Amino acid sequence: REISPQARVTIYLLVTGSVFLLLSIMFGAPYYYYKYGRSDTKASISKNPNYELYTPDQWEIDKDSVTLNKLIGQGHFGQVYQGVIKLSDGTLKQCAVKIRTTHPTDLLQEASIMKQFQCYHVIQLYGICSRIRPPYVVMELMDNGDLKNYLYRHRQSELNPNGPTLTESGMIQLALDVADGMYYLSDQKFVHRDLAARNCLVNGNHTCKVGVFHNYYFIQ
């Protein structure tokens, strides 16, 4: 059966429209994503609360109340100094001062997390100097450093036969200290995500506390 001229025109228009629509989808979708999708992605990233500007609050202290003495630690996440802080009542207290010259906002975010914790086996925050560059984060001093090096120093060996050693009960107590700190954090719905001996600190009384909060998240 011969197709009428009107039918031929209709078929031609349908085929041409379909091809045009297909080409529009093939070439238009990538262009739309490039122009609009990328900007939406950037907007959603900028809203991440970890990158919000820090606002000083009741934890803010004056730089003149903090004295830096000597460097006691240095690494990827900044430098730590042994220092002294003058409290509001005029008394002086030994402290540790953490400073980070690169990405200081990361350090301030870590300090903001520490404000929420009140547990004997979690490192305690004393104050923040956020109005200076680089900012200071002042916390309790842990004289014996991180747990990893503490355990190395107390490991008996042929090279150090008369060095200090840990008893079995002493090692168990260190484990209990960390367990208590982590139990508190989990009760606060806080996930540390980087619990390791290098991120636990030991004070002058050989008490171990959980610290270094840079890779965390909260469970809602």
The DSSP H or E segment spanning 170 is: helix 168-187
DSSP-based three-state secondary structure for 47: coil
What is the distance between the terminal CA atoms of the chain, rounded to a whole angstrom? 70
The sign of the CA dihedral 42, 44, 47, 51 is negative
Alpha carbon of residue 159 to chain centroid:
38
> Which pair of structure tokens corresponds to residue 26?
């093939």
Q: Which residues are catalytic?
A: 194
> What is the phi-psi region of residue 103: left when phi exceeds 0, alpha when psi lies from -120 to 50, beta otherwise?
left
Residue among 114, 84, 123, 108 at smallest CA distance from 201:
123
Give SS3 for 67: strand
